[in-house]
């Protein structure tokens, strides 16, 4: 059973801005912990600079005004500075979850989403109905999750890259369609994006040893090298975070 308690969380965003706000936080989480609808509540914030050491940047257009919003994740809390004005903090996920914001419910608005490696499970907070989230078990231990537009240009798909085999597995969370295809090898970094202007993302991997980008449709581009971290825009508003833990 989880214990609920109140704490005062002092947010220090860079040196110039300090926020004091009361939050309801969960106590130590059990192995069966999953994000709940009550965690998807928005708390108002005000401030200037955005983020601090250790935060994970997750910029995207969360308020659907066509402009990318500054956003970071800290211990399962999403701090979003909306381009339309104002800001908020939303608890969604846990410390070691991998954030993968994208529009999964096909309403045109970015959803908060995380992948929990220990359970290979996606937890998606639907922007169309935050009280009814999407939970998808997809992938296995060692997989690298990534959001793609593999099935539709309109909404994102839950996808994983399996380094041990170079396989990609795509799952359409709205239609239950599945697709597996081989592209890449162990040590490659998956960076799916649309290089053909088709609206659909292609399987693309970056191989640091040679600085090669291998696109399954278009072939090879040499750009970068050992130690580099590839970045690709999955869509016009989302830059995929890179996770290689």
Q: Shortest Cβ distance from residue 147 to Ca ion (Å)?
A: 12
Q: Candidates 2-10, 111-119, 166-174, 206-214 — which segment interacts with Ca ion by CB under 5 A?
A: 111-119
Q: 175-182: which pairs have CB atoms within 8 A and are 24 or more residues apart?
A: 175/151, 177/151, 179/150, 179/151, 181/216
Residue with smaller CB distance to Ca ion, 25 or 134:
134
Residue with smaller CB distance to Ca ion, 148 or 215:
148
How many chain residues touch Ca ion (CB under 5 A)? 12
Inter-residue contact 142 to 53 (CB < 8 Å): no
What the block records as the tokens of 112 is: 């908060």
CA dihedral 122, 128, 131, 132 (to 10 degrees): -50
Closest CA to 50 of 88, 84, 21: 88
Residue with smaller CB distance to Ca ion, 2 or 233:
233
Residues 49-108 that bind Ca ion (CB under 5 A): 61, 63, 65, 67, 69, 83, 103, 105, 107
Residue with smaller CB distance to Ca ion, 94 or 107:
107
Residue with smaller CB distance to Ca ion, 112 or 189:
112
What the block records as the tokens of 196 is: 């053909």
Which residue(s) pair with 114 in the sheet?
99, 123
The DSSP result for 110-124, as a single string, is -BEEEEETTTTEEEE
195 C-beta neighbours (distance < 10 Å), count: 17
Q: Does 143 bind Ca ion (CB under 5 A)?
A: no
Q: Shortest Cβ distance from residue 143 to Ca ion (Å)?
A: 23
179 C-beta neighbours (distance < 10 Å), count: 13
Inter-residue contact 205 to 184 (CB < 8 Å): yes
Q: Candidates 5-13, 126-134, 209-217, 228-236 — which segment interacts with Ca ion by CB under 5 A?
A: 126-134
Which residues contact Ca ion (rule: CB under 5 A)? 61, 63, 65, 67, 69, 83, 103, 105, 107, 109, 111, 127
């Amino acid at each position: 059973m989880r214990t609920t308690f109140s704490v005062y969380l002092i947010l220090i965003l860079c040196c110039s801005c300090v926020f004091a706000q009361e939050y309801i936080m969960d106590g130590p989480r059990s192995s069966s912990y999953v994000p709940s609808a009550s965690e998807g509540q928005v708390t108002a914030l005000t401030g200037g600079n955005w983020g601090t050491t250790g935060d994970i940047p997750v910029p995207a257009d969360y308020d659907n005004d066509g402009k990318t919003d500054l956003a970071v994740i800290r211990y399962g809390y999403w701090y979003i500075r909306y381009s339309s004005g104002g800001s908020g903090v939303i608890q969604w996920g846990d410390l070691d979850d991998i954030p993968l914001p994208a529009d999964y419910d096909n309403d045109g608005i970015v959803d908060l989403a995380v992948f929990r490696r220990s359970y290979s499970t996606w937890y998606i907070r639907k922007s169309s109905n935050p009280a009814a989230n999407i939970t998808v078990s997809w992938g296995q231990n060692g997989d690298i999750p990534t959001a793609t537009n593999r099935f539709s240009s309109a909404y994102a798909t839950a996808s994983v890259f399996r380094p041990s085999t170079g396989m990609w597995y795509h799952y359409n969370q709205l239609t239950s369609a599945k697709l597996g295809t081989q592209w890449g090898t162990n040590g490659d970094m998956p960076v799916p994006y649309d290089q053909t202007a088709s609206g659909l993302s292609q399987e693309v991997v970056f191989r640091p040893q040679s600085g090669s980008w291998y696109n399954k449709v278009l072939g090879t581009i040499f750009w970068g090298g050992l130690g580099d971290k590839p970045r690709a825009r999955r869509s016009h508003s989302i830059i995929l975070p890179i996770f290689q833990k």
